[in-house]
Amino acid sequence: MITKEYTITSPQGLHARPATALIRLVKNFISVISIQKGEKITRLNSMINLLSMTIKGGETITIIIEGEDEINAAEALGLFFAEQLKEL
Amino acid sequence: MEKINGTGVSPGIAIGKAFVIKKAEVAVSGILLKGENEVIANVAAFNNAIEVAVNELEVIKLSLAGTDFEILETQIELISDPQIAEDVIEKIQSERKTANDAVIEVIANVVEVFESMDDEYMRARTADIKDIGSRILKHLNNTKTNTARFKPDSIIIADDLSPSDTITMDIKHVNGFATRTGSKTSHAAIIAKAKGIPAVVGCGDSLSTIQNDDVIILDGTSGLLYIDPAEETINEFRLKSEIQKQQSEKLKALKNRPAITTDGKKVMLSANISGAADMDDVHENGGEGIGLFRTELLFMDRTSFPTEDEQFKFYKQAALQSKGKPVIVRTIDIGGDKQLPYFNIPAELNPFLGYRAIRICLDQTDLFITQLKAILRAGVFGDLLIMFPMISNIQEVRAAKNILEKAKEELLAENIPFKANMKVGIMIEIPSAAVTADILAKEVDFFSIGTNDLCQYTLAVDRMNEKITHLYDPFNPGVLRLINNILEQGRKHHIHVGMCGEMAGDPLAALLLLGMGLEEFSMSASSIPTIKNTIINHSEADAKQVYRAVMTMDSSDEITAYLKAQFV
């Protein structure tokens, strides 16, 4: 299992556009990937659940990855949160 | 001929044939499934509906090629959301509900969750959730509404137009549209305005009397619909539409003409901008200055606060492109509904009444002083003025001015050139400031009335709350009296008073404000020609009469009806 913390760099937070991109990215992996903010945790396969967490810009979240391709998944998600998110 | 009254949201006249879009009836049947076969059939029907709906959206996406892609991508993700599928199938299997009923209930639950969020953006997503709900139901019940293909010269008549309806609309064939529900901020209204299609929303139930192929005249300016009009009426509107087109050409021609009334009173028509990039548009429309330069843009889309040098470049750019026209720079107005990713303001119950704008600046003075220094430095390159937002009392003005002095001292010590005698003003947008304008006038060089917030705070109306938009009314006599007081005190204390809220660009308000003695109207650049046209075709004496008449009236209904009558 890989656990990593990220700060949300898109000003509007994880609103529809970045959330769509994130859900799409996660679909490429067979690992079970979840997102945690405070007490709340949800699998990253549902837009509804992800949007329901109302993750705002500047907030810190934790990504939990477990599965065969977890190393590749962690790398892709790291890139997403560090680089791509800003542009979404 | 029948006439229907709605809210005009996108100006212009459209003549064409009605194309009625009927939404499938969404009603819970209450039927319970009998036996395992029915359960299996309903689950299968649901899965099939999802698949067909996704395919349909993919096809639309291909045909759109690029432009409005993102909304559709999100729709596809929402429609194939595993949580929705899981909940629906659970309801079918264990509660024996029909697929139709299960979808309605699950969507209603999700809508409820989103509606109760304390985040305006997320609350607005309920429209998307409802949209996917009706898409699934449409395929489940095989009711087809094809919004992608219209006959030429169609006028769309619909209950409401969802995001996917509006973007998939083939606008080549659509002359205009009218909806039963909706307001100025609904998707349909925004898209209509952006695409220049005349539109009327909020027409109410009388819209249901319209049949396919009825001849319709739609006037997006007055908000009126004429059904089956006589030939002469059609001709009359054709002529009117032609005149309107010519008029908009004529308005553009007013560009270099000063805004002077028929009896010689000169007013200043300025523009609101968010950066140097907007400046071309201002010159194009004949703006005489910048009444509001919002600085927030510079602070957004980044991961940390911009440095003094970065800010300096941003303001300098605007100063250089202003061609010597005065530019009022508003210090940062964050908080409320404007958040920065790298500056965490804890969630507040009432962000509009909370830690925002000048309140943050006076608390975190480092941040404030950096911005002030950058503006002072840029003042060397153009006629910049400085303005503080969200002032509620005189201590704040004095504190802000002290920090401004400190910023000057620092620049002086660093031997960096800056404009030492930069004029200082405040936004009047809090009722206490409006009432005590006489006190505040002593400390500043100018006032700028921010009608959007002034209206929201005076009337205790959250301007983001759709349920109470009817109460958000700048023509409320309470708001008008405050504005009048600000102008009166400004005159008495010999300071310049401008207005930079939306009201300044409202043609209905122009004469009244002129009569009240407003000296500077600042609006989005595209509104300037229309307001100028009103000013140059009336006298100040007439405007004063309008003002005196309005101040005797007791309701905004009476006031707006009277103001409308002035234009006939």
Closest among B562, B557, B518, B510 to B538, alpha carbons compared: B510
Q: Reply yes or no on whether the pLDDT at B406 is more than 80.
A: yes
What value does the mean pLDDT take over residues B459-472?
A: 84
Rounded to whole angstroms, how far apart are CA atoms B62 and B518?
A: 52
**pLDDT at B339 (0 to 100):** 75
B84–A48 CB contact, under 8 Å: yes
**pLDDT at B140 (0 to 100):** 85
Structure confidence at residue B195 as a pLDDT band (50, 70, 90): low
What value does the mean pLDDT take over residues B458-466?
A: 84
Min CA distance, A39 vs chain B (Å)? 16
Can you read off the two tokens belonging to residue B217?
């005249």
Of B81, B129, B301, the CB nearest to A46: B81
A24–B128 CB contact, under 8 Å: no
Rounded to whole angstroms, how far apart are CA atoms B509 and B531?
A: 9
* % of chain B exceeding 90 in pLDDT: 58
* Secondary structure (3-state) at B420: coil
Contact B389, B368 (CB under 8 A): no
Domains and CATH numbers, chain B: 2-22+146-248 (3.50.30.10), 35-140 (1.10.274.10), 257-565 (3.20.20.60)
**Residue type for B202, please?**
G
What value does the mean pLDDT take over residues B36-40?
A: 92
Contact B203, B180 (CB under 8 A): yes
- Quick check: A23 contacting B, CB < 8 Å? yes
- Quick check: A84 contacting B, CB < 8 Å? no
Q: Reply yes or no on whether the pLDDT at B32 is more than 70.
A: yes
| Of the listed ranges A64-78, B178-192, B281-295, the one predicted with least confidence | B178-192
Q: Reply yes or no on whether the pLDDT at A25 is more than 80.
A: yes
CA dihedral B442, B329, B306, B340 (to 10 degrees): 80
**pLDDT at A80 (0 to 100):** 92
**pLDDT at A3 (0 to 100):** 92
Residues B521-541: tens digit of each pLDDT: 999 887 898 899 999 999 999
Rounded to whole angstroms, how far apart are CA atoms B236 and B79?
A: 47
What value does the mean pLDDT take over residues B447-455?
A: 95
CB pairs under 8 A between A and B: 70
Q: Reply yes or no on whether the pLDDT at B459 is more than 90.
A: yes
Can you read off the two tokens belonging to residue B14?
């459209």
Residues B392-404: tens digit of each pLDDT: 999 999 999 999 9
**pLDDT at B171 (0 to 100):** 66
**pLDDT at B8 (0 to 100):** 87
Contact B434, B482 (CB under 8 A): yes
Domain layout of chain A by residue ranges? 2-87
**pLDDT at A16 (0 to 100):** 82
Active site residue A15: yes
Higher pLDDT residue, B142 or B137? B137
Q: What is the CATH number of domain A2-87?
A: 3.30.1340.10
**pLDDT at B143 (0 to 100):** 57
Contact B402, B365 (CB under 8 A): no
What value does the mean pLDDT take over residues B462-485?
A: 89
Higher pLDDT residue, B519 or B124? B519
Rounded to whole angstroms, how far apart are CA atoms B254 and B269?
A: 12
Return mean pLDDT, chain B.
88
Structure confidence at residue B256 as a pLDDT band (50, 70, 90): confident
Higher pLDDT residue, B186 or B512? B512
Q: Reply yes or no on whether the pLDDT at A7 is more than 80.
A: yes
Rounded to whole angstroms, how far apart are CA atoms B427 and B330?
A: 9
* % of chain B exceeding 70 in pLDDT: 91
Min CA distance, B253 vs chain A (Å)? 40
Q: Reply yes or no on whether the pLDDT at A77 is more than 70.
A: yes
Rounded to whole angstroms, how far apart are CA atoms B332 and B317?
A: 17
pTM for the full predicted model: 0.55
Tally DSSP H helices, then E strands, for chain B. Answer: 23, 16
Best mutation target, A46, A50, A55, to test chain B (most B CBs within 10 A): A46
Rounded to whole angstroms, how far apart are CA atoms B77 and B25?
A: 25
Which residues of B belong to the active site?
187, 500
**pLDDT at B188 (0 to 100):** 67
Contacts B117 to A, Cβ<8 Å: 52, 54
Can you read off the two tokens belonging to residue B393?
């009392």
Rounded to whole angstroms, how far apart are CA atoms B429 and B443?
A: 17
Handedness of CA B373, B377, B379, B384 (dihedral sign): negative
Rounded to whole angstroms, how far apart are CA atoms B238 and B44?
A: 53
Contact B392, B368 (CB under 8 A): no
Torsions phi, psi of B64, nearest 5? -80, -30
| Of the listed ranges B9-18, B138-147, B456-465, the one predicted with least confidence | B138-147
A58–B122 CB contact, under 8 Å: no
**pLDDT at B271 (0 to 100):** 93
Rounded to whole angstroms, how far apart are CA atoms B453 and B359?
A: 15
Closest among B28, B303, B371 to A85, alpha carbons compared: B303
Rounded to whole angstroms, how far apart are CA atoms A22 and A43?
A: 12
Closest among B300, B267, B268, B262 to B282, alpha carbons compared: B268
Residues B163-183: tens digit of each pLDDT: 556 656 666 788 899 998 876
Residue bearing tokens 């997102």 = A35
Higher pLDDT residue, B313 or B126? B313
Rounded to whole angstroms, how far apart are CA atoms B124 and B108?
A: 15
Contact B501, B450 (CB under 8 A): yes
**Quick count: other Cβ atoms within 10 Å of Cβ B450?**
28
- Quick check: A56 contacting B, CB < 8 Å? yes
Structure confidence at residue B254 as a pLDDT band (50, 70, 90): confident
Radius of gyration of chain A (CA): 12
Q: Reply yes or no on whether the pLDDT at B7 is more than 60.
A: yes
**pLDDT at B347 (0 to 100):** 81
Can you read off the two tokens belonging to residue B361?
């600046």
Structure confidence at residue B292 as a pLDDT band (50, 70, 90): very high
Query: Running DSSP on this structure, what letter comes out for residue A87?
Result: G
Higher pLDDT residue, B190 or B331? B331
